[in-house]
Structure 1
Amino acid sequence: MADPSSTREVTFRLARHRRSVPRVRALLLAVLHGWEAGQEVAETAELVLSELVTNALRVRAPQDRQVGVRIAHSADEGLLRLEVSDAGAGTPEVRAPGADETGGRGLLLVDALTLRWGVTGRAAGIGKTIWAELKATDLAPARTGTEVAAVTVRAGQCVQAWDAWRTVRSVRGERYASGGPVVVLELDEGPALRLHAAEPVNVRDNGEDGPR
């Protein structure tokens, strides 16, 4: 079993909109760039995650239900794990579409490009999580910090976002359409982070030397 301390991850949520597919590609590539992933791993992961998110956006689910994404790397196992969660029912299956069909090949591509993949029920709430794993043994070592709940982060601290340290310029609270509490961290660089209030995030005080 892998040591949990050897695993790093990034999680975020996407609106149920077609613009979320190019957005998730950009976010994934930013994460993998910070983790110093090679071109082959990055390109394969981009294809796989694009297909998983596209499938999640196509399932029948309330429009206000977001799509959850988790990108994780286990140094012990040398695996990059991509997870996409949606509120739709049913279990996706690999299809063999006819030559004249323009769609239906997403999971065929995922099956061909990954070490393994599968579907699990969500631990809390309705829907499912589709996961896929790729071999990724040469990513840079994780940088660490103090893990705290997002709701406790203060302006002026540094948070680890896209595997780089960013200074928090401001913090504000919002609520998801479903009613859950959200913390929005405006950073000195890059897009704001929108996190569930209890979601863990790595922080350090500004000016403190981060691990190399």
Structure 2
Amino acid sequence: MTTLNEVAFRLSRRPRSVPRARSALHAVLADWDAGDELLHTAELVLSELVTNALRVRVPSDRQVGVRIAHSSTDGLLRLEVSDAGAGRPVVRHPEPEQTEGRGLWIVEALSHRWGVSGRVGGIGKTVWSELKAPDLVPAPVTREIAAIAVQAGQSVRVWGAWRTVRSIRSERHAAGGLAVVLGLDAGPPLRVAAGEPLAVRTAPAPQVRRAVDSVPATKEEFS
């Protein structure tokens, strides 16, 4: 039986999006019981991919898409970063004294495999990296997880009761960083920091999809 754990979200084209992506990844992998070595490697790879995407020459209102996924079939952690830019990035091999141009060189060195593909149903490209992660485990039926890892259809315990999550979106947190807004089956939406732990109850399923944004990015958002 294949279990797919997945988180997807979008970032604005600002330098602070790099630490936000790293923070979100840290919350997700901690929730998936990742070891320190995998966590450190994945944070470094994702930081380089997001940094490169932010340097692409496109209008400043075009967002950067991030997807974090793990499949129990191949035991690989897949990191994807999408942007609206044309062309394909090329690995450079800078001299030791050079301080720039090492992004994809680092990604290539740390990845089990990596590549570039066109965005399905939209313009631009997706640069992806896969890391060996055979020890990541699927979520149990009930536990505490970071808010960014919650998926639609799960139940979260808030205000002393279990509420079913109907929709999920991300936005900027007032104190900085990423916030998650959960639309519930009853009561007002719940707005919390991405790393905020929430008690979650979910029925086991052969495939688990977790997305921060309930509506995928449209072509216009990247065009």
TM-score higher than 0.5: yes
C-alpha distance in 1, partners of 2:167/2:34?
A: 33
Please list every run of 5 or more consecutive structure 1 residues that lacks an aligned counterpart in the other structure. Answer: 146-158, 177-182, 200-212
- Determine whether 1:190 maps to 2:193: yes
C-alpha distance in 2, partners of 1:85/1:58?
A: 12
The residue aligned with 1:136 is: 133
- Determine whether 1:21 maps to 2:18: yes
Asked if 2 retains the 8 angstrom alpha-carbon contact of 1:167 and 1:187, the reply is no
Asked if 2 retains the 8 angstrom alpha-carbon contact of 1:81 and 1:131, the reply is yes
Asked if 2 retains the 8 angstrom alpha-carbon contact of 1:143 and 1:163, the reply is no
TM-superposition CA deviations, 1:140-189 (whole Å, max 9, x none): 223479xxxxxxxxxxxxx9844456457998999x9xxxxxx9534364
Change beyond 3 A, Cα 1:168–1:84 = farther
The residue aligned with 1:104 is: 101
Change beyond 3 A, Cα 1:62–1:100 = same
What SS is found at the alignment partner of 2:213? strand
Change beyond 3 A, Cα 1:197–1:144 = farther
1:100, CA displacement in angstroms? 3.7
TM-superposition CA deviations, 1:85-132 (whole Å, max 9, x none): 000111001101234422000111111111000000001121000000
What SS is found at the alignment partner of 2:99? coil
What SS is found at the alignment partner of 2:128? strand
What SS is found at the alignment partner of 1:21? helix
Relative to the length of structure 2, the TM-score reads: 0.69
Asked if 2 retains the 8 angstrom alpha-carbon contact of 1:35 and 1:163, the reply is no
C-alpha RMSD of the superposition: 3.2
- How high is the sequence identity, in percent, across the aligned residues? 57
1:196, CA displacement in angstroms? 4.3
Change beyond 3 A, Cα 1:111–1:50 = same
Q: Which has the higher contact order (CA 8 A, sep 6+)?
A: 2
Change beyond 3 A, Cα 1:160–1:166 = farther
Asked if 2 retains the 8 angstrom alpha-carbon contact of 1:66 and 1:86, the reply is yes
TM-superposition CA deviations, 1:35-80 (whole Å, max 9, x none): 0000100000000000000000001111111000000001111100
The residue aligned with 1:118 is: 115
Please list every run of 5 or more consecutive structure 2 residues that lacks an aligned counterpart in the other structure. Answer: 160-164, 172-179, 183-188, 197-210, 218-223
The residue aligned with 1:210 is: none
